[in-house]
Every structure is written in C-alpha cells, then in structure tokens.
Amino acid sequence: MSANLLAISVGNTRMQLGVYRDDKLVEQRYFSHDQLREIADAARELYQPIRDTEEPAVYLASVDDSVAQAVAMSVGDALSERVWRMEQDIKIPIGRQLDPEAIVGEDRLLNAAAAYDGAKQAVAIVDAGTAVTVDFVDGKGTFQGGAILPGAKLMLNALHQHTAALPQAELAKPSEPIGHNTIEAMRSGVFHGIRGAVRELVEKYAEVYQGYPRIIATGGDADLLFEGYELIEAIVPDLTLQGMAVAHRRAMGDQ
C-alpha cells in the first residue's frame, strides 16, 4: 500500500515537515520550534492535496516531548485530524537489540527503519545534527544501537565557552587541513574530527559484525561534513520522514 502522509519530525533545534503522496516525497519545509502558527499554516497547506487520498494520515516524531505536545495540538486543531505519535500510537518497524532500560530517540529508530528498508542489508546511519549519532542495523534488520558524540556546532561552542582565548567560530568547511589561524584550526579540528570518528566507529562495527555495512548520512550538517567523502554512500536529508512513511505503510498493511 502506498503512503499518503504528512510527516512531522521535531529535532533538537528545528522541525521538518514533509508530505508523501503515493510513496513520493513531494514537498518538505523547515521551521524553528517557536513557529507554531507558521507550522500549523504549512501543515494545512501540505495536507490539503492528500486529504481525499486513500488512508491519509498525520504522523509526528519528536526528541522533545514538550514541543511535540504543542505541535500535535496546533496541527491537530488546524487540520481537524488526529496526529499519530510515533512509538506511542504507531510502532516504528525496526527490531531492537538493546539493554532493557535503554531509551532511544525516535529519530534514530526511524532513520534505522528507513535505511534498512532501502538497503535490505547491514547499514550504518550517521545523523549529523545538534549531536552526531552513528548507529548500526544488522543484516536481519535489528537496530543494535551505536554511538553519540557532540555535533559540529556544539564542539565549536564548547571550545569558545570553556577556554579563555578561543573565539566564537561559525561552522564552515575548513579551507585546508592545516589551519593557519585560530578559527581555521578550530574548524579543521571539528570537521576532520567528526569524519575520523565516523570512520573509526564504522570500522569497529564492521569488526564486530564481521562484514562491512553500507553507510548513509542524514541531518542538517550532513552535506557540509560529508559531501564528497568516499566513506559515505549517500546523503539522505529526509531519512527520518522516510522512516515515518515506512511505518505508515506497515501499519496500513497490518490493518
């Protein structure tokens, strides 16, 4: 069954809305958390073309429950539709091999579901946003967990805030590996440090799994950090939204 879906993903610093019609992402938009009115208006506009299609739905995933509640209420009122919450109302279709007490962000699980649905083999997912996560799904489609490190902007901010002399530096791709001034040195350290961490982690995952996974990147900083990087097979900006489309298809099929 094809997905006709308005998918809303609430991240740590921004929000992504995307509309799927017949399994194809036809439009997506980005907002900050405080733009509730704009989000509701965009949801109304995006949902209209799929309102009369087969089994349309509105799904919401979030890493911040307080923001999610406000968005769900605002969008639900604007559309006069139920907003289905991931994991609470709709199970994310990915197996899990985790500690019993582990709590994993919905975005990580959705990325894993989408990546495995496309790869049909072991896959590592690098999500470069406020934090950088490097997760692993085995060849049977089981989410095994992964690693979390500070995102690029967090690193730069921490260097400025927790040292006496290092300046505030905006995130940008370094012009060359050896920084000839402080700002460029900070950018080089963060840029190549994250790339190096991702490579090391994926190689360790491959050792444990005894096979090399496909590697997919997503997140707001993925293009800057990984464009042209031979380690990364593909950069997929809407991976979390794709995970919601996978969950919707699975839910409709189960019904």
DSSP string, 211-230: SPPEEEEESTTHHHHHTT-T
Q: What's the rounded Cα separation, in Å, for the pair 202 and 255? A: 37
**Residues catalogued as catalytic:** 107
Contact 7, 59 (CB under 8 A): yes
54-63 confidence digits (pLDDT tens): 889 999 999 8
pTM (2 d.p.): 0.93
Residue 255, pLDDT > 60, answer: no
What local confidence, expressed as pLDDT, does residue 254 receive? 56
Q: What's the rounded Cα separation, in Å, for the pair 196 and 190? A: 10
146-183 confidence digits (pLDDT tens): 999 999 999 999 999 999 999 999 999 999 999 999 99
% of the chain exceeding 90 in pLDDT: 90
226-247 confidence digits (pLDDT tens): 999 999 999 999 999 999 999 9
Q: What's the rounded Cα separation, in Å, for the pair 172 and 62? A: 27
- Strands, E, within the chain: which ranges? 5-10, 15-21, 24-31, 57-62, 83-85, 95-96, 123-128, 131-137, 142-150, 214-218, 234-235
Alpha helices in 105-238 (DSSP H): 106-119, 152-161, 182-209, 222-226
What local confidence, expressed as pLDDT, does residue 1 receive? 63
27-40 confidence digits (pLDDT tens): 999 999 989 999 99
Between helices 65-79 and 36-47, what is the axis angle to 10°?
50
Taking residues 40-45, report their average pLDDT.
96
Q: What's the rounded Cα separation, in Å, for the pair 106 and 94? A: 11
What's the longest Cα–Cα distance across the chain?
A: 61
Strand partners, 31: 15
